[in-house]
Amino acid sequence: MATAAGQNDNSEQTERKARASKAHADASPPVEEDVDTGAAAAAAETTGDAGSTSGATAGEPPDINELGPDAGAEDGEDPRRVAHELLGQAHAVLAIAADERVLKVWCPAELRDAIRAAHADLAEAIGRAHAEIAGGEHDERLRGNGIGGVHGKVKRWSFRAGLRRLKQAVDTAGGWLQKDRQTQVRALLRFTAGTAKSVVQSVLEGTTVGHALVEGFELIQNGLDLSDAIVASAAPPDNAQV
């Protein structure tokens, strides 16, 4: 009887140990398999699973061909940008020439109404030219005529300098241009109008808007020439006795 009781006790102890061992195993966290995260990421990138890595690599600049013609050129040499700059300066020449203070200095009285009437149309023509250049309609012509090239820098710089001096001469003269300042304004206007005409011929050669603008600058040149002729004809001859 004693032997049977001992065996029963041993059996109960064995069952308790088994239950305790099972409970410990259930409470323990599962063991994770070793994963090479670097290899997994590389595989995802290769197969396109990385999402944003498809196409160009993050931070990589866009294809140069997607940015338009001469996108790789330095901004100062881009033909379209240079053409916009030159046309803007040409527009400034027209605006200064149409200023009433300046108009009286270079334009004979009989031509002033024509100049005033033409100014609005010429300004609109320059606006259309800017739009055409921005749309790439003149790219081939700009390249062919060297707009934005190294050899055009001298013309650009001289045009810019002449326009700046013209504007300063007008602004510092006050409400009325004195005789010495009139001579300076006329000379600078003659130079800038001639340069503007040359610029328009290079940028818009053979176009309707270009032809209209060339005629506008020729009108300024003709007005200056006529004004000079009037002044010369009114002056006494060199051999006249006083």
Angle at 59 between CA 55 and CA 62, to 5 degrees: 60
Per-residue model confidence as pLDDT tens digits over 79-127: 899 999 999 999 999 999 999 989 988 999 988 998 898 998 999 999 9
What single-letter DSSP state applies at residue 213? H
- Closest C-alpha to 207, from 140, 120, 160, 150: 140
Sequence-distant (≥ 6) Cβ neighbours of residue 190 within 8 angstroms: 221, 224
User: What is the pTM for the complete model shown?
Assistant: 0.64
How would DSSP label each residue in 130-165?
HHHHHTTTTHHHHHHTTTTSGGGHHHHHHHHHHHHH
Q: Which residues of 1-30 are buried (b: 16+ CB within 10 A; e: fewer)?
A: eeeeeeeeeeeeeeeeeeeeeeeeeeeeee
Domains identified in the chain and CATH numbers: 77-233 (1.20.1410)
What single-letter DSSP state applies at residue 68? -
Per-residue model confidence as pLDDT tens digits over 29-68: 454 444 444 444 444 444 444 444 444 444 444 443 444 4
Q: What does the alpha-carbon distance between residue 15 and residue 135 come to, in Å, rounded to a whole number?
A: 89
Q: What does the alpha-carbon distance between residue 106 and residue 188 come to, in Å, rounded to a whole number?
A: 11
Q: What does the alpha-carbon distance between residue 96 and residue 167 come to, in Å, rounded to a whole number?
A: 7
pLDDT at position 236 over 80: no
pLDDT at position 3 over 80: no
- Closest C-alpha to 89, from 186, 140, 155: 155
The pLDDT assigned to 60 comes to: 47
Per-residue model confidence as pLDDT tens digits over 122-173: 999 999 999 999 999 999 888 888 887 776 677 788 899 999 999 998 887 6
Q: What does the alpha-carbon distance between residue 82 and residue 74 come to, in Å, rounded to a whole number?
A: 11
